[in-house]
Chains A and B, each alone.
Chain A
Amino acid sequence: MANITRDEIVHIAKLAMLNLTEQEIDNYTKDMQEILAYAEMINKIDTSATDETIGATEQKNKFRKDEVMEFKTREDLLQNAPSQDEGMFQIPKVIN
């Protein structure tokens, strides 16, 4: 039986830094239970005769050559930063 508790939804929301209303927590709990019930249904399918699937497609080994390509303009990369200094993103102090 697929089951997820309200507490687990609150925990996951906290890890994802989401602020949910009480109503949203109720809704997500119900939605998540339905999703898990569906996953459980799929889990029952016998796949013993199937090769191991990795990812959603049959694609494999899409590699890149190890050759440097410079992205020239730092200004472009930083242009949307709300705050910057000396070529770096400036953010509120992070206590280590």
Chain B
Amino acid sequence: MSKEDYEIVIGLEVHCELSTKTKIFCSCSTEFGGEPNTHCCPICMAMPGTLPVLNEKVVEYAVKAGLATNCKIAQNSKNDRKNYFYPDLPKAYQISQYDMPLCYDGYVNIETEKGEKTIRLERIHIEEDAGKLNHDDYGRGTFVDLNRAGVPLIECVSKPDLRSKEEVDAYLRKLKSIFEYIGISDCKMQEGSLRADVNVSVRKKGATEFGTRTEMKNMNSFRSISRAIEYEANRQIEVLENGGEITQETLRWDDISGKTFSMRDKEDAQDYRYFPDPDLVAIRLSDEYIENIKNSLPELPESRKKRYLEEYKLIPKAANFVTSSKYYSDIFEEAIAICKNPKTASNLLMSEVARILNEREEEPDQIPFSGKELGELVELIDKGTISSSISKKVLEELFENPKSPSQIIEEKGWVQISDEGAIKEVVKKILEANSQSVADYKAGKDRALGFLVGQAMKETKGKANPQMLNKMFIEEMKK
């Protein structure tokens, strides 16, 4: 048997920090950063005698998330205590939801190589985040900062419908984009506001029973999640192929060594002794409440995609790409309001901006400029002020030092040379230096023209107008 005989089965628990102003059960600020323990009060520090009161925005945001992911909304819901001891959890229990989550039975559609695929959501529930443990290198112990303790989260639990790391990536990006569109979270993976517990198992193709799964907790980058899935699936297949068995356990992914490690003893198997939190009362939502939230939802990516295909005549690949992130989509809309050129604006996002982000290992929410700059850049190309090869350099500059593109090209001296005399001079110079190419062209090798234009672009550092170069080379060689 080989790797190809196995199927990978993945389920995700995605934790998403809600962008409320205050914590879930007290009025402390949720702001990121800040001196340790300055966004804390007796409630989130679990002082005896304090009582939690649920933040109304948390319920609203969770219901929004549920509606945007086709979930049913529970009209009767409650909070439960999940009991475990860990120093980042001052109450020794986390207030979460157990058997009556706010949202259940949803789904999202993702694009795969084989077309659209539906990933079912089992539930979305609300809960509180834990604090942060800081370890020092001098063996003085551990330092507890409770600024994050009590920050509201939703946990979205998928069914085990995912079959590859590519599907996981598409699913996560889809959830992230939906939550960004409805404005319930900034979904910044680098700040930990979106993170996932990844459950992986393998089984022989065609098997109906699931294999034993392992869980990797708190993964917060697309790249580590992909790598971890690949490593863990291969590890499991190897164990099985060697006649071994998979132990159900929690693993820690180590990004540096690229391996997973066992985190907890089996002896400490999770036994959370959930029970209803007696400090909090029932959450009962009326039809009217749910209907109002439904009506307040903004335009979702699916609908924007449809609009881009129909109104702006984008090709499906471009429409998918631009709507894959609210940040791309917002930049795109702002840009085309200025330049009225959806095709070039989407192309620049899809090819250049995505490439630069990839090189910088950044996400669309980290793009430092707006649609205004992109729109202006497209206008400069359309007017012939700059060539498209210069536009790439302007985009790179926009990432380093965001300001008006016309200011950038002026400062850098990147304005396109469209002066006939100047171009003619370059053309003559290149023709003189490349007599072999001229001969080739005259012998019918059209590729020689491309080479000559390339040389001329090189000579002018990409500033010459390529259409004019083309035309003039042909004219000169006809002589």
A-side interface residues toward B, CB under 8 Å? 11-12, 15, 17, 52, 54-57, 59-71, 74, 77-78, 83, 85-94, 96
Partner of A89, one of B57, B143, B282: B143
Interface centre among A52, A71, A83, A96, by most chain B C-beta atoms within 10 angstroms, is: A71
What is the distance, in angstroms, from B228's C-beta to the closest C-beta of chain A? 17
Select which of B20, B142, B252, B280 is within 8 A of A66 by beta carbon.
B20
**Once bound together, how far apart are the Cα atoms of A63 and B54, in whole Å?**
5
Give which listed residue, B27, B36, B146, B280, contacts A86 with CB less than 8 A: B36
Indicate if B21 sits at the interface (CB-CB under 8 A). yes
23 pairs, CB–CB < 8 Å, chain A vs chain B: A17-B85, A55-B78, A55-B282, A59-B282, A60-B283, A61-B283, A61-B284, A62-B53, A63-B53, A71-B40, A77-B37, A77-B42, A85-B143, A87-B36, A87-B37, A88-B134, A89-B143, A89-B146, A91-B144, A92-B142, A93-B141, A94-B133, A96-B133
Residue of chain A at shortest CB distance from B282: A54
Q: Check B41 against A68 for contact (C-beta < 8 Å).
A: no
Q: Which residues of chain B from 1 to 35 have a CB within 8 Å of any chain A CB?
A: 20-22, 27-29, 35
Residues on B with C-beta less than 8 A from A15 are 83, 271, 273
Asked if B189 is at the interface (CB within 8 A of a chain A CB), the reply is no
Is B37's CB under 8 angstroms from A70's CB? no
Q: Which residues of B contact A (CB under 8 A)?
A: 20-22, 27-29, 35-38, 40-42, 45, 53-57, 59, 76-78, 83, 85-87, 100, 133-135, 139-146, 252, 271, 273, 276, 278, 280-284
Task: Verify A55–B27 contact, CB threshold 8 A.
Answer: no
Which 7 A-B residue pairs are closest in the complex by CB-CB distance?
Answer: A54-B282, A71-B41, A63-B56, A69-B27, A88-B143, A66-B57, A89-B144
Query: Would you call the interface of chain A mostly helix, strand, loop, or mixed?
Result: loop
Task: Flag if A77 contacts B36 (CB, 8 Å).
Answer: no
Determine how close the nearest CB of chain A comes to the CB of B32; give it in whole angstroms: 14
